[in-house]
Chain A
Amino acid sequence: MNEAIEIMEERPVKYEYNRREQLEIFEREFLPHLDAMYNFAYRLTLDEDDSKDLVQDTFMKAYRFINSFQKGTNSKAWLYRILKNSFINDFRKKSKTPAKVDYQEVENFYNSDDVDEQNTVDLRVETLKDMIGDEVSNALNSLAVDFRTVIILCDLEGFTYEEMAKILDIPIGTVRSRLHRARNLLKEKLREYAASMGYRE
């Protein structure tokens, strides 16, 4: 359980907030991210009830470990990290549909230079312009959760590579290669959708 909540700092620090300060941090720095957190949870679990549970768990853990949070720092990244760890530790285990791919294996493979050959998905800008939300959603949701996650964190939430590395507990080089792979998989999915929908050039 505790490993789920390792704090962002390299040097663990304990702050001593009184009750009033704790509630104030919670209200001003944590709760404003509720909307983004709920949506992140939904994009991971693809289920409304699970998202609700995951978000509640995340906020409870955040409060329990509030003395590890430095007031005024990057609360969003801190909360995302807790949410992502809760997802892995609590949700993925009991999930009815376990991850289809061992991503570490996939990653080791694609960290090699072979990845260069993957730049050539035939997809055109004109095709994208006609796509609707459902198609984009379906394409994204069809990716293995680790690939989906990096795209959400980067494109939707605008986290930097460094923040993503901290949220995901992986080196920056891995963020880069996982993103690269994820973008190519997404392009491939979008191309498939476009083809099945009969979009023309």
Chain B
Amino acid sequence: MLGMMDKKIHNPECGEFSKCVKILNLILDNEATVEQETYVHEHIESCMVCFEQYELEKNIRDLIKTKLANMPVPEGLANQIRSKIQIFPHH
């Protein structure tokens, strides 16, 4: 674990780690430009730290999407709202 941390903090394998992390987050959020996507996709083929970071960020997003339980809407809530609307005057 410590070895991993050292490697990441010093990032001997990537001279542009901060820039790469920013761009790969944009890619995962579908906010990157075509140029940015091309850059990072080519880059992570040869840069292990950035590839690992990409996988980590992607997995955290998947975790949020798949593991958070959906709360069931309380029964009757839709109808309670509907009946309040029904008595609301036209405006």
Q: Which A residues are within 8 Å of any B CB, using their own CB?
A: 18-19, 22-23, 26-27, 31, 34-35, 38-39, 42, 48, 51-52, 55-56, 59-60, 63-64, 67, 116, 119-120, 122-125, 128-129, 131-133, 136-137, 140, 151, 154-156, 160-161, 179-180, 183, 186-187, 190, 201
In the complex, what distance in Å separates the CA atom of A119 from the CA atom of B24?
12
A156–B52 CA distance with the chains assembled, in angstroms: 23
Give the tally of cross-chain contacts (CB within 8 A).
109
Q: How far apart sit A48 and B72, CA to CA, in the bound complex (Å)?
A: 10
Query: Using a CB-CB cutoff of 8 Å, which residues 46-70 of chain B contact chain A?
Result: 52-53, 55-57, 59-61, 63-65, 67-70
A190 partner residues in chain B, CB cutoff 8 A = 60
B side interface size, CB within 8 A:
41
**Residues of B bordering A, CB below 8 Å:** 1, 4-5, 8-9, 17-18, 21-22, 25, 29-31, 52-53, 55-57, 59-61, 63-65, 67-71, 73-74, 77-78, 80-82, 84-85, 88, 90-91
| A-B complex: 3 closest residue pairs judged by Cβ atoms | A116-B18, A122-B5, A133-B67
A38 contacts B73, CB within 8 Å? yes
A34 and B73 within 8 A (CB): yes
